[in-house]
Chains A and B, each alone.
Chain A
């Protein structure tokens, strides 16, 4: 069974930093592309960024609103994905989901972790 379990969310002040983790199981993590998607309270879905597999260069792409502030990385030995979030803004408040990305579509999702940025 495919499982993605996010952790690391919480309350942080504007300008602060937070690192989210996503532990994966039930599939070959080393071959997977993984994305982060977020959802502000009561709002729709917003793609945050992705990391490709090692065989595909382990390169990352990030959406414009977070570029230069968020960094995505992975540890294949632990089947874990990370989202390092710096210079956080109140508009970054959201539930953050990690998702397996196949052909730029998201086929499995974690349950999400809430990040709240206070002013």
Chain B
């Protein structure tokens, strides 16, 4: 099973600040990583697929990048609606899709 480790567990920032979320894979997964946003009481929403491609309707302030087994989701300038939990997910091992443990972005 491919393990995804997200850090930090919690990120405390103010609106307008830049958020940098990390996801590290336990083995090489090419660029097969997706990012999701989940707000309390809601289903997750796809933000980024294949490391750097924004899903339909996702604002340009969300971007993704990759370096080896390290993946980053960046929110360039936090809007009030961006405070949520973010999960990464790998699709390299399609028989055992796995998610990271999540990063909560909270208002400082």
Interface of B, secondary structure class, is loop
A15 to B87, CA, bound (A): 31
Q: Is the CB of A47 within 8 A of B46?
A: no
Q: Is the CB of A47 within 8 A of B43?
A: no
Q: Is the CB of B43 within 8 A of A107?
A: no
- Interface size for A (C-beta < 8 A) is 19
CB closest residue in chain B, given A110:
B43
Q: Is the CB of B96 within 8 A of A63?
A: yes
Contact of A97 among B32, B43, B95, B96 (CB under 8 A): B43
**Interface residues, chain B, CB within 8 Å of chain A?**
32, 34, 36, 42-46, 49-50, 55-56, 87, 89, 91, 94-102
**Interface residues, chain A, CB within 8 Å of chain B?**
35, 44-47, 61, 63-64, 97, 103-112
